[in-house]
Structure 1
Amino acid sequence: MTDQRRSLGATLFPVGLLLIAMASIQSGASLAKTLFPLIGAQGTTTLRLICASVMLLLILRPWRARLDAKSLRTVVIYGIALGGMNFLFYMSLRTVPLGIAVALEFTGPLAVALFASRKASDFVWLALAVIGLLLLIPFGDTSANLDLTGVAYALAAGVCWALYILFGQKAGADNGIQTAALGVLIAAIFIAPIGIVHAGTALLNPALIPAALGVAVLSTALPYTLEMMALTRLPARTFGTLTSIEPAFGALSGLVFLHESLTLLQWLAIGSIILASAGATLTMHSTSPTPVPAD
C-alpha cells in the first residue's frame, strides 16, 4: 500500500506542477492585459521581456554558454521567434478574448505535431482543428463578431510558436537550459524598440514595476521553472497531452479575471482544438517535437 501511494504521489506531483504552470501563464496574461490601457500591448510585451531577461540572466548565467557561428544563428532565430510570439499574442489580446487567442495560437504547435507524425489518424485531428478554426474565425456573424485583425495576430503568434519549438530544440541541444536566458534576452532586444516607440516615457513610470514584475514572474519565471521540473518526471507524450488543455485555462482565466464570457459555439470550438492537439500528441512518434508551452 505504501509503494502504491508513493507511485501515485510520484505521478500526481508533476501533473500538479504542470497544471499550476498553465494557470500561472494564463493568470499572467490576464494581468498583462490590464496594462494595455496604460502602455499598450507593445509596451507591456517590452516590460515583460526585459524583466524576464534580467531574472533569467541572474539565475541561469548564460554567458557560460559556448556559441559558434551556427549555434549563435539558431539562438538568434529562436529568440526572434520567442519575441514575435509574445508580441503578436499580446496584440491579439487587445480585441480577442484570452481563451480564443490561446486556442488560435495553439494551432502552431499542433501543426508541428501533425507534420511530424503523418499517420492516418492525423486526418481526424486535422479535421477537428479545422472545425475549431472555422467556428472561431469570423465569417459574417458566426463568431460573435470577433475582430479579424486580432484573429490574424493570434494565428501569426502560432506561426512564431511553431518556429520557437523547431529552433528551440536545436538551440537547446547545444547549450541546454541556458538557451532560455539567451532567447529571452534576444527577444527583449528585438521587441524593445517597438515598445519604446509606442509607449515612450510611460515605460519609465515606477508605478508599473510591480505589475511588470508580476507578469514576468507569472508568465515566464514561475511556469518555466515548474515546467522544467515536470518534464523531468513525465514522459514527453504525457507532458504534451496535458499542455493541450491550456486553451481551456485561458478561457477560464479570461472569465474569472477579465470577465470575458464566451458563447457555447466558442467553447465548442476551443474544445475541438484541445481534442485535436491532445489526439495529435498521443499518436505522434516518440521522436516528434513536443509542443512546449511558451506564453
Structure 2
Amino acid sequence: MTATPTSSTATQPQVTPAEGHHRLDSLGPVGLVLAGGISVQFGGALAVTLIPRAGALGVVTLRLLAAAVVLLLFCRPRLRGHSRADWGTVLAFGVAMGAMNGLFYSAVARIPLGPAVTLEVLGPLALSVLASRRAINAVWAGLALLGVFLLGGGGFGDLDPTGVAFALGAGAMWAVYILFSARTGRRFPQADGLALAMGVAALLFLPIGMASAGTRLLNPTTLALGSAVALLSSVLPYTLELLALRRLPASTFAILMSLEPALAATAGFLVLGQSLSPTEAAAIALVIAASIGAVRTQVGRGKARVEPTPEA
C-alpha cells in the first residue's frame, strides 16, 4: 500500500498542502533528515530553558499538545477508510512518540544535554546494525558509536543513574519511532498518519502533564515558549523525517541520526553559550565521517539500482 493519495482525494481542495510537501521533497531524503535534526536540536535547547517553568513532563505535554493542534488543523486527516492495521500502526507510533519525548526530557532534567543526547543515539545506532543487510553499515555504526562515546566524555560513571536509564529508554523508543514512522508514512498520505499519531501521544500525556505541572501550564509565557518548542522539536522535524523515511532505508536513517550530538553541541554553543573541548570536536568529526559514509553507501546503492543492464 503506497502513501500516494488516490485520484478522488487529489480532487478535494482542502488537501492542497501536498504542494508544500513536494517542495520539501525536492531537498532529497538526506537533506530532509539534516533539516529536521537542526530544527529538533535548536528546539531542544529552547526546551532546556523552559523546564524550570513547567517541569520536564509539563514541557513534553505542551510540546505534544501544540504540535498535535497544528498538525491536525493543517493536515485535516481523514478518519474513515483506514484498516484496523492502519489504526494499530498509528497507535503504536503515537505511544512510541510520547514515550520517547517523556523519557528524554526526564533524562535532561537529571543529566546534561550532551550526554543525554549521546546515550539516546545508541538506540538508532543499534537499529542500524540490526536492520542493515550490508556489512559496511556496521563499520559506519561503529565509527559513530566511538564518536558519541567521546562526545560523552569517554564515560558516564559520574552521571545520575536514573537519568542514564531514562536516556537509554528514550533511545530504545527512538528506534521504535523510526520503524513505526516508516510504516505510518507508507500507510497514510502526506503527513496524515503523523498528525493522528501526534494526537494519540498528546492525549496519552495530557493527564500526566496536568498532574505534574498543574496550573503552571496555563502561564502565557510558558504556553508561548511551549508552542515554539513544539514547532521546532515536533512539527517540523517529525514531518521532514516521515517524508524522508519514504525513500530512505531505516538502517541508513538511523546512522544519519548520529549527527544529533553534533547538532546538539552546535545549538548548545549558539543558544546556551556552551563551548566545545578538543575531544568533543574530534567526536563530532567521527560522527560526521560516519554519516557521510552512510550517505555515500546509500547513494551507491541507488545508482546500482538504476544503472541499465547492458544488452547482449
User: What's the TM-score, normalizing by structure 1?
Assistant: 0.77
- Counterpart in the other structure of 2:122: 107
How many Å separate the matches in 2 of 1:94 and 1:224? 23
Quick one: structure 1 residues 189 and 228, their matched pair in 2 at CA, closer, same or farther if it must change by over 3 Å? closer
How many Å separate the matches in 1 of 2:26 and 2:187? 31
- Counterpart in the other structure of 2:278: 264
Quick one: which of 178, 186, 190 aligns to 1:173? 186
1:186 maps to amino acid? V
Q: RMSD of the TM alignment (CA)?
A: 3.5
- Counterpart in the other structure of 1:51: 66
1:63-82 equivalences in 2 (<5 Å): 63-64=78-79, 66-82=81-97
Is the 1:137–1:143 Cα contact (8 Å) retained in structure 2?
Answer: yes
How many Å separate the matches in 1 of 2:284 and 2:162? 19
- Counterpart in the other structure of 1:188: 202
1:1-295 equivalences in 2 (<5 Å): 19-64=34-79, 66-132=81-147, 134-135=149-150, 142-143=155-156, 145-176=158-189, 177-224=191-238, 231=244, 236=248, 240=253, 244-280=258-294, 282-283=296-297
Identity across matched positions, percent:
43
Is the 2:194–2:238 Cα contact (8 Å) retained in structure 1?
Answer: no
**Per the alignment, in what secondary structure is the counterpart of residue 195 of structure 1?**
helix
How many Å separate the matches in 1 of 2:101 and 2:71? 16
Is the 2:153–2:280 Cα contact (8 Å) retained in structure 1?
Answer: no
**Per the alignment, in what secondary structure is the counterpart of residue 135 of structure 2?**
coil
Q: Which has the larger radius of gyration?
A: 2
Unaligned segments of structure 1, at least 5 residues: 1-9, 288-295
How many Å separate the matches in 1 of 2:177 and 2:270? 29
Quick one: structure 1 residues 47 and 174, their matched pair in 2 at CA, closer, same or farther if it must change by over 3 Å? same
2:206 maps to amino acid? A
Is the 2:117–2:260 Cα contact (8 Å) retained in structure 1?
Answer: yes
Unaligned segments of structure 2, at least 5 residues: 1-23, 303-312
How many Å separate the matches in 2 of 1:71 and 1:11? 24
How many Å separate the matches in 2 of 1:220 and 1:65? 25
**What are the superposed Cα offsets for residues 134-170 of structure 1, whole Å, 9 maximum, x if unpaired?**
546688xx55944333232222111111111112222
How far off its partner does 1:123 sit? 4.1
Is the 1:43–1:196 Cα contact (8 Å) retained in structure 2?
Answer: yes
1:220 maps to amino acid? S
**What are the superposed Cα offsets for residues 247-277 of structure 1, whole Å, 9 maximum, x if unpaired?**
2111111122123345433444454445445
How far off its partner does 1:224 sit? 4.4
Is the 1:22–1:249 Cα contact (8 Å) retained in structure 2?
Answer: yes
2:266 maps to amino acid? L
Quick one: structure 1 residues 193 and 266, their matched pair in 2 at CA, closer, same or farther if it must change by over 3 Å? farther
Quick one: structure 1 residues 97 and 255, their matched pair in 2 at CA, closer, same or farther if it must change by over 3 Å? farther
Tell me whether 242-251 or 273-282 shows the greater mean CA deviation: 273-282
2:93 maps to amino acid? Y
**Per the alignment, in what secondary structure is the counterpart of residue 274 of structure 2?**
coil
How many Å separate the matches in 2 of 1:22 and 1:183? 20
How far off its partner does 1:58 sit? 0.2
- Counterpart in the other structure of 2:19: none
How far off its partner does 1:50 sit? 0.3
